[in-house]
Amino acid sequence: MRFSVSVLLVSVIFICSGCLSKRPRTEEDLLRLAFEALKERQWEQYSRLIITRADFFLYEDNISEFEEPNSYLGSVIKPEQIEMHKNLFFRSIQGGQNFIRFDQTEFCRPGTLLKSETKKLIEKDPVILNTYSLVITDGNTEFDTKELYPHFTVAYVPWMGQYRILELELPPIAKTDP
């Protein structure tokens, strides 16, 4: 009996450690997971990798998850920002000219650091935002996507101890004259 309980416990620990490996501990881990979610067209998977600007303000104001739906930030602003993330996600996988073809490529590593800035999203600590291209392969050739979209804006979230996607940068939508 003790042996089977020990085996079960070791199995549970092994399985859980595999689950934890999906947590992005580095910017490269995050970008790999985001690429996979875009490639597989998995919004739910991708949504676990994002953060909104509202999250920073909710954290700074010490608004708990239980109080969040009762606040303007939690009930209006955050859902709007999540919807924006969702729209950018689906625009990215829809693709078009100058977009990454997620269905025909594989992630290799982060590409060019296109922009790095420090923002005061919260009073406690400034947040460093890095916007990257990716290095991908089509099976034959590796190339940097700095001329393609989307670009990935990554934020380190100190209270989570993780990196998160703050934004997918896409080209503006061309306006058509009536």
Domains, in order of start, for the chain: 24-169 (3.10.450)
3-state secondary structure the chain: CHHHHHHHHHHHHHHHHHHHCCCCCCHHHHHHHHHHHHHCCCHHHHHCCECCHHHHHHHHCCCCCCCHHHCHHHHHHHHHHHHHHHHHHHHHHHCCCCECCHHHCEEEEEEEEEEEEEECCCCCCCEEEEEEEEEEECCCCEEECCCCECEEEEEEECCCCEEEEEEEECCCCCCCCC
For residue 172, the model assigns a pLDDT of 82
For residue 7, the model assigns a pLDDT of 42
Tell me the pTM. 0.81
For residue 22, the model assigns a pLDDT of 66
pLDDT tens string, the chain, 178 residues long: the values are: 554 544 444 444 444 444 444 678 899 999 999 999 999 999 999 999 999 988 887 777 776 666 666 677 777 888 999 999 999 999 999 999 999 999 999 999 999 999 999 987 666 678 899 999 999 999 999 999 999 999 999 999 888 889 999 999 999 876 655 5
